A = this chain, B = another copy of it.
Amino acid sequence: MAKDGKAAARGKQERLVSAAVELAHRQGYRKTTLADLAEAAQVPLGNVYYYFKTKDDIGEAIVQHRESEFEAMRAHLDGLPTPKARLVAFVDMTMRNAATVAKHGCPMGSLCAELLKDGGQLAERSNALFAKPMDWMERQFSALGYADAAADLTLQLQSSLQGASLMTQSFRDPALLEREGRRLKSWIEAL
């Protein structure tokens, strides 16, 4: 029996979102044209507008996809026994992406920076990329017994990771993120 329309639609929409997420990371959101997207997702150009009314809608879908990626990661991290182990594992996962970060930047940070400079509606949404991870970090630091300093420690950890990611991308050297990652893991262990 033939695929019905809706199933095909879902398949195409998913392909479009996947392609948008990947292309926005590799070559930037703004630089990614609807033609690039259509080609990568194997969907005819004009048809993209059946799934997304505007390019901003695609940006929103990218942000939501990145948010859900963190939720999946969080589900895994929360399986670990201690807050310390969870925070260290978080840093570890970032470090393992060092090679990709050196090429295209942090998937969240570089997108956030781009949406902020773009201005408009999406700039307001950009901090959604950081909000959930930082809420999660803050809970871990609180559970570690640093309830009062949790917000500061979170800012410190997230800033270091984001800044190190930018340096890593700028100098195209994965070793930078690995060095900062090692330091941050020791710092967490010693808390």
Chain A contacts to B: CB under 8 angstroms: 27-28, 30-31, 105, 109-110, 112-114, 116-119, 126-127, 129-130, 152, 155-156, 158-167, 169-171, 176, 179-180, 183
Contacts and interface: CB of A to CB of B under 8 A. Distances in A.
A110 B167 CA distance: 12
Contacts of A171: 127, 130
- The majority secondary structure among interface residues of chain A is helix
A31 B167 contact: no
A17 to B, nearest CB: 20
Given A110-B117, A155-B180, A159-B163, 4 more contacts: A110-B113, A116-B170, A152-B179, A159-B159
28 contacts: A28-B117, A31-B117, A105-B116, A110-B117, A112-B170, A113-B113, A113-B169, A114-B114, A114-B117, A127-B171, A129-B170, A130-B167, A130-B170, A130-B171, A152-B179, A152-B183, A156-B160, A156-B180, A156-B183, A158-B163, A158-B167, A159-B163, A159-B164, A159-B180, A162-B162, A162-B163, A163-B165, A166-B166
